[in-house]
Homo-oligomer: A and B are copies of this chain.
Amino acid sequence: MVDYYSGHSKYLFAVDCVVFGYEEGELKLLLYPRAFEPVKGKWSLMGGFVMPQESCEQAACRVLHQTTGLQNIFLEQVATFSNPDREEYTRVISVAHVALIDIRQHNHELVKEMGAEWWPLSNLPELIFDHEDMIREALALLQQKAGYSLVGIELLPDKFTLLQLRKLYEAIYQRKFDAGNFRKKVLSLDALEKLEEKNLTESRKGAFYYRIRYSQSDTETERIVKF
């Protein structure tokens, strides 16, 4: 038993978090200037090493909590980045995670203390290592999931108008959607609940608020696969 395991190399194992927020009609990413060498001061995703008693999901939760003050947020593995030379000085394998947070809810003081900043996806600074690849894959995953579920909704407040939802989808897919088709498609999913209350800022008539029907989430995939 010992023989089988002992002959093999061990590696440093880390997590990086692609933290998406949504503000002023666009997706933003939380980045921070790396606090240590190598590449100290360069912009980086939020990350950290996995500790002996942690899974990578637990490590990602810890990193997110330490850096945003938030708990119980949407978090999912994107992919594991394991090219032997992805860091210049030593081999570190890293699992990229995507996190979706309500940008209004995070701890601004914590973020400020670390020197972290929200950068618009359309205008990111140069990033260390393969962090740009991680972001590209995280966005692709988000787009894919948003095609069969209302996954992006974590980025909105609990209640939202269909206009707000469409603007979010336009930010996720980085293109415009026809208002009528979008409305029809989203309502056909039967995943939203219409509230009595109206948002009166969007138009003179006002627009009804909606919220998600969580009980529906399991059957969404089924509904899009229409065979």
What is A's interface to B at a CB cutoff of 8 Å?
Answer: 1, 3-5, 8-13, 36-38, 49-57, 77, 79-80, 82-84, 89-93, 95, 143-144, 146-148, 169, 173, 177-178, 181-182, 185-186, 221, 224-227
Contact = CB atoms under 8 A, between A and B. Distances in A.
Nearest to A37: B1
A8 B49 contact: yes
Contacts of A225: 143, 146-147, 173
Contact of A182 (B37, B89, B185, B227): B227
Contacts of A181: 226-227
20 contacts: A1-B89, A4-B36, A5-B12, A5-B89, A5-B90, A8-B49, A10-B11, A13-B82, A13-B93, A50-B82, A54-B84, A55-B82, A56-B80, A80-B80, A143-B225, A144-B221, A147-B148, A147-B225, A178-B227, A186-B227
Contact of A56 (B53, B77, B82, B185): B82
Most buried by B among A4, A53, A92, A182: A4
A199 to B, nearest CB: 21
Copies in the complex: 2
Given A1-B89, A226-B181, A55 B37 contact: no
B84 A52 contact: yes
Nearest to A35: B4
Nearest to A36: B4
Given A1-B38, A3-B36, A13-B13, 18 more contacts: A5-B90, A8-B12, A9-B12, A9-B50, A11-B50, A52-B84, A53-B84, A54-B84, A55-B83, A56-B82, A56-B93, A93-B93, A144-B148, A147-B148, A173-B225, A177-B227, A185-B227, A224-B224
Contacts of A146: 225
Nearest to A59: B82
Contacts of A178: 227
A93 B14 CA distance: 12
